[in-house]
Amino acid sequence: MAILIDLQNVSLEGAERTILKGLSLTVSSGDRIGVVGINGAGKSTLLRIIAGTLSPDGGQIRRSKTLHVGYLEQIPELPDGTVRHALGSGWEIDAALDRLGMLDAADISTTHLSGGQRKRVALARLFSQAHDVVILDEPTNHLDLNAISWLENQISSFRGAVILVSHDRFLLDQVTTRMIEIDRGVTYVHAGGYSKLLEAQAEREAQAQSTEQVRRNLARHELAWLRRGVKARSTKPQARIDAANRLLSTRPEAAARDGSLDLSIETPRLGNTVIKAHQVSFAYPGAREVLKNVNLELGPGDRVGIVGPNGAGKSTFVNILAQQNEPTAGTLKHGPTVVASYFEQGDGDINLDLTVQELVAGPQGIPGSLADVALMKKFWFSGALQQTRARELSGGERRRLQLLLALAKHPNVLFLDEPTNDLDLETIRLLEDFLSQWPGTLVVVSHDRTFLSRTTDRLLEVHPDGSIKDIPGGIDAWIARVAGVSLTPEGVEDTPSGVSKGRLLRDAEKDMQRLERKRATLGDKIAASPNYLEQARLGTELEQVLKDLAVAEEYWLSLAD
């Protein structure tokens, strides 16, 4: 393998902190390197240094003399003219545009493209040109599964090196051979994909905890020995006692963020009726029907994922379900106990000229109240960030603000439209943990396969003809179908109907989560009900749920063995 780029002891100082410290990295042909870290850690900065568009403060960088680097930024630039002019012609270009859902837009001016369309055109342009190194900054944002599958194939078949920042854990685990983790200026390089990174993080955390315990034990033993020994000596070894006290009072390194993201909220009780759609159709004025004769009924605690190709009408469907738009035909009703909140793509209806604390307070509140300050801190908005205007926030900070505003309404029905875009992996995992236990009804539009697998148990697909259909087999079947793979019993352990053991484990986990949510909901209903007859009825239902939960846990344990 030819060495393409070599970084030795590279460092970069920011205005208030060290961004990179002592990074050494060799990039060779065939490398597939993923970069992760929290928002603001310096991931995009590292990509710019590798690409040569930013010079570090210290260290050395050597590049091959004939090196050609292709760089896809989060907000890509395209030349003026039509999409066809930007890309050129040829069957390969047409095939790429088709897989990316942009073939019908070939004659549209690049200045009229949406952010997602620009990203797809920029990807097609990048991989149609000759490069030794391709650098990708959040390439899967705004891509549907067909486009992501195309991107995976491009990365896998590319002969040079690929370096990418992504929150798509499935993609990272599929294509990467090494992972770089940036944590408060320090970089950790791990062999293998995303799963190996997680193993290394867990081992590092355990080692840190062990080291801290050893340090504290040594300090205590030293101090106890010194205090016992001073009575037998005429002169107290005060210097050693002071040193032991300092060692004991030393704290381990502070976390990268102040506390854990606290998504805990009160959720109003849901009745049996949540959402009913009957023969719903929708068309924009003068355009074809986006939705056609859709029937859907959602109950309390349902977890529904919505997928489909870009432009099929997923966001329109969620807008209808959330009552942001009225159907042009048919009826859609919310139950009387529904308190809905909508997390939109982009900035939604956020006034970007207002500060974070003004948005949290709302038009009727007083900015900076004690309750609002406490709420903002739960979502990592502290200090100067509370007085920062929304337009000055990073993409990840804006998405976190949207999440704060959505949950501040204390909803029991939550609509999420591409919630993982611009969020870092730590925030996404915390959001998944919250949603897995949240007792309300959830509707998610996403192409993040891991997120869908962990937060939903039913998958609906929006088709270009306006129909909505369930996907038998859920997320695994959807991924396999797009990849052109048939799910067969070949090579599968002894499991029913040839279904993989991993799939059965995931289904069992979802079943336990569903029952846990139902248990929590019934407990809240019993506590809130003044009617002893209703309490007795709910108690009987709770007993059955607990029995079902015990059976589900036993089944999961049998699979895990």
User: Are residues 506 and 368 both part of a single domain?
Assistant: no
Contact in structure between 2 and 29 (CB atoms under 8 Å): yes
Strand, helix or coil at 259? coil
* Other CB atoms within 10 Å distance of the CB of residue 281: 16
**Per-residue pLDDT tens over the stretch 359-406:** 989 888 888 888 888 888 888 888 888 999 988 887 788 888 888 888
Distance in angstroms (rounded) separating the CA atoms of residues 409 and 405: 7
Can you state the angle between helices 425-437 and 501-528, rounded to 10 degrees? 60
The position carrying tokens 């699979």 is 559
Tens digits of residue pLDDT in 31-47: 999 999 888 788 999 99
**Three-class SS of residue 326?**
coil
Instruction: Specify the CATH number for the domain of residue 145.
Output: 3.40.50.300
Percent of the chain with pLDDT over 70: 84
Residue 164 has pLDDT above 90, yes or no: yes
Find the range with the poorest average confidence among 45-59, 124-138, 492-506.
492-506
Domain end (from 445, 462, 480): 480
**In a domain? residue 8:** no
Shared domain for 462 and 517, answered yes or no, is no
In total, how many domains does the chain have?
Answer: 4
Do 320 and 282 touch, CB atoms closer than 8 A?
Answer: yes
pTM confidence score: 0.73
pLDDT given at position 330: 95
Judge whether 21 lies within some domain.
Answer: no
Least confident of 170-184, 426-440, 504-518, 522-536: 504-518
pLDDT of residue 329 exceeding 80, the answer is yes
Q: Which tokens sit at 344?
A: 């939109």
Scanning 231-279, the segments in alpha helix (DSSP H) are 238-249
Looking at the fold, whether 368 and 458 belong to one and the same domain comes out as yes
Cβ-count burial of 363 within 10 angstroms (0-12 exposed, 13-18 middle, 19+ buried)?
Answer: exposed
Residues 314 and 185 in one domain: no
Residue 560 has pLDDT above 50, yes or no: yes
pLDDT in tens, 429-482: 888 888 888 889 999 999 888 899 888 888 999 998 999 999 887 777 787 777
Same domain, 293 and 378: yes
Residue 17 lies in a domain: no
Q: Assign 555 a pLDDT band (cuts: 50, 70, 90).
A: confident
Residue 267 forms part of a structural domain: no
Among residues 192, 207, 227, which one ends one of the domains? 192
Q: Are 203 and 39 in contact (CB under 8 A)?
A: no
- Looking at per-residue confidence, does 459 or 532 come out higher? 459
**Average pLDDT rounded to a whole number, residues 314-339:** 94
Residue 94 lies in domain: 30-54+64-192
Is residue 28 within 8 A of residue 1, CB to CB? The reply is yes
Residue 255 maps to a domain: no
Do 222 and 353 sit in the same domain of this protein? no
User: Inter-axis angle of helices 501-528 and 532-560, to 10 degrees?
Assistant: 160
**114 and 168, same domain (yes or no):** yes
Burial 299-336 (b: 16+ CB within 10 A, else e): ebbbbbbbbbbbbbbbbbbbbbbbbeeebeebebebbe
47 lies in the same domain as 185: yes
Residues 308 and 187 in one domain: no
**Strand 3-13 to strand 133-137: parallel, antiparallel, or no bridges (unpaired)?**
unpaired
Q: How confident is the model at residue 243 (pLDDT cuts 50, 70, 90)?
A: low
Residue 260 lies in a domain: no
Same domain membership, residue 166 and residue 147 = yes
| Contact call for residues 415 and 340 (beta carbons, < 8 A) | yes
Of 160-169, 206-215, 304-313, the one with minimum mean pLDDT is 206-215
CA-wise closest residue to 376 among 350, 347, 346, 408:
408
In a domain, 175, yes or no: yes
Query: Does 547 lie in the same domain as 419?
Result: no
3 falls within a domain = no
* Sign of the CA dihedral with 473 first, then 475, 481, and 484 last: negative
Of 480, 509, 535, the last residue of a domain is 480
Please name every residue paired with 165 in a beta bridge, in sequence order, or none if there are none: 35, 137
* Higher pLDDT, residue 228 or 283: 283
Residues 6+ apart with CB under 8 A from 56: 10, 11, 12, 20, 49
- List pLDDT tens digits, range 94-131: 888 888 888 888 889 988 887 778 888 999 999 988 99
Q: Are residues 151 and 34 in the same domain?
A: yes
